[in-house]
Chains A and B, each alone.
Chain A
Amino acid sequence: MLRPFRRRPAGGQNPIDAPLPPGTSPLLEIDGLSVGYEVGGAFTTVLDGVSLTVEDGEFVCVVGASGCGKTTLLKTIDGLIAPSAGEVRVSGRTAHPRHGDMAVVFQQDSLYPWRTVLANVRFGLDVRGRRSAETDARSRECIELVGLRGFENHYPHQLSGGMRQRVNLARALAVDPTLLLMDEPFAALDAQTREVMQTELLDIWTKQRKTVVFITHQLDEAVLLADRVIVMAAHPGRIREEIRIDIPRPRDLHTKRGERFTAYVDHIWNLIEEEVRRSLIPGTAQETRTGA
Chain B
Amino acid sequence: MSGVTSRERRARHTTMPPAPGPRRRRGSGRRWRGYRAVVSFAGFLVVWHVAAEYLVANPLFLAGPISTVQAVGTMWADGTLQQDLLVSADEFLKGFGAGLVAGVLLGLLLGTSRRAKDYIDPLINGLYATPLVALAPLFILWFGIGETKTVLLVFMLVVLPIAINTDAGIRATDPQHLEAARSFGASRLQLFTMVRFPTSVSFLVAGIRMGIGRGLIGVVVGELFGSQSGLGYRILVSSQYFQTDVLLAGVLIFSVTGVLLVKIFEWLERRVAPWQSGQG
A residues sitting closer than 8 Å to B (CB atoms) are 78, 80, 96-100, 102-104, 106, 108-110, 112-114, 123-124, 126-128, 155-158, 175
Contacts and interface: CB of A to CB of B under 8 A. Distances in A.
B41 interface: no
Given A102-B183, A108-B176, 10 more contacts: A80-B182, A109-B176, A114-B273, A123-B180, A123-B181, A123-B184, A126-B194, A128-B185, A158-B1, A175-B184
16 contacts: A97-B182, A102-B183, A106-B180, A109-B176, A112-B195, A113-B275, A113-B279, A114-B198, A114-B199, A114-B201, A123-B180, A123-B194, A127-B185, A127-B190, A158-B278, A175-B184
Contacts of B181: 123, 127
Given A114-B198, A157-B279, A104 B180 contact: yes
Interface string B1-15: 100000000000000
A127 B184 contact: yes
Nearest to A175: B184
Contacts of B121: none
A288 to B, nearest CB: 26
In order of increasing CB-CB distance, the 4 nearest A-B pairs are: A110-B180, A124-B184, A97-B185, A104-B183
Among B273, B275, B278, the most chain A Cβ lie within 10 Å of the Cβ of B275
Contacts of A112: 177, 195, 198
Among A109, A110, A128, A158, the most chain B Cβ lie within 10 Å of the Cβ of A110
Contacts, number: 61
B179 A157 contact: no
A112 B190 CA distance: 14
B73 interface: no
A149 B165 CA distance: 37
B174 A128 contact: no
B274 interface: yes
A65 B198 CA distance: 37
Interface in B259-279: 273-275, 278-279
A157 B185 contact: no
Contacts of B52: none
A157 B275 contact: yes
Contacts of A123: 180-181, 184, 194
A78 B181 CA distance: 12
The A interface is mostly helix, strand or loop, or mixed, namely mixed
B186 interface: yes
Given A112-B195, A114-B198, A155-B274, A78 B183 contact: yes
Interface of B: 1, 174, 176-177, 179-186, 190, 194-195, 198-199, 201, 273-275, 278-279
Contact of A110 (B177, B190, B194, B273): B177
Nearest to A99: B185
B275 A106 contact: no
A145 B140 CA distance: 67
Contact of B278 (A110, A126, A157): A157
A97 B177 contact: no
Contacts of A96: 185
A106 B185 contact: no
Contacts of B278: 157-158
B185 A110 contact: no
Contacts of B186: 127
A110 B182 contact: no
A103 B183 contact: yes
B184 A80 contact: no
A35 to B, nearest CB: 16
Nearest to B186: A127
Contacts of A156: 275
Contacts of B195: 112
A127 B182 CA distance: 10
Contacts of B185: 96-100, 127-128
A127 B179 contact: no
A126 B274 CA distance: 21
B86 to A, nearest CB: 37
A124 B183 CA distance: 9
Nearest to A107: B176
Nearest to A106: B180
Contacts of B180: 104, 106, 110, 123
A156 B201 CA distance: 17
A118 to B, nearest CB: 13
A103 B182 CA distance: 10
A127 B184 CA distance: 7
Nearest to B202: A114
Contact of B183 (A97, A108, A126): A97
